[in-house]
Amino acid sequence: MPARLLGSLLAVGFTIFIMALSGKAANPPIPPAKLDAPLAAVAGKQTAVFAGGCFWGTQAVFERVKGVLKTTAGYAGGSAETATYRQVITETTGHAESVEVIYDPAKITYGRLLRIYFSVAHDPTQLNRQGPDVGTSYRSAIFYANDEQKRIATAYIAELDAAKVFPARIVTEVTPLKAFYRAEDYHQDFALKNPDHPYIQICDLPKISALKQQFPEYFVDYKGSH
């Protein structure tokens, strides 16, 4: 995405952006959710969908989380007819770049996924942007699959805001998941396949480092889908 990289670095300044990300990597994780589902007694599969800026970085984080079985970069919030990258970047489709996370509830809970999402995957206080990327397709959003996910996500946001964990109010949308549309093949595992890409070097590798530093008990090395 050359346009994404070009506009971003000119907008925020290369050095300032690097310093901000480096500082974030050294931060401690935010407090865990007080309201959460218990670990399941038996292995299974559940789905969570998160939007937090460019889906390259969001996927790069969650595919390295122990208990996550599969991740898919895609679009949520709009219609099937507009679920292509060329349409989404027009900022007229209602879609947000999102990641579908299939996880084993016997190994990791939804609340713990949310903690990682808020701690290292993105900045939940930025409205309709994420760092260098600007537009509603880069908004912070939790697309809940059921009432339990809605209840946990809503309570956690209220808890973090009340504790003033972040310097500004959380603007993350909590909205029902109507559908998830898989993104084009070249977007899948983009950070893994393109580690030397300037955007990945600047924006996404620090997130992976932060995950490893803040959540070593959940970090797993990722070699790609099989």
CA gap 29, 217 in Å, rounded: 12
Q: Is the CB of residue 30 less than 8 Å from the CB of residue 119? A: yes
The residue type at 150: K
Q: What is the CA radius of gyration of the chain?
A: 16
203 is catalytic: no
DSSP, collapsed to helix, strand or coil, labels residue 86 as helix
CA gap 87, 94 in Å, rounded: 10
Annotated catalytic residue, options 30, 48, 49, 54: 54
CA gap 139, 127 in Å, rounded: 6
Residues designated as active site = 54
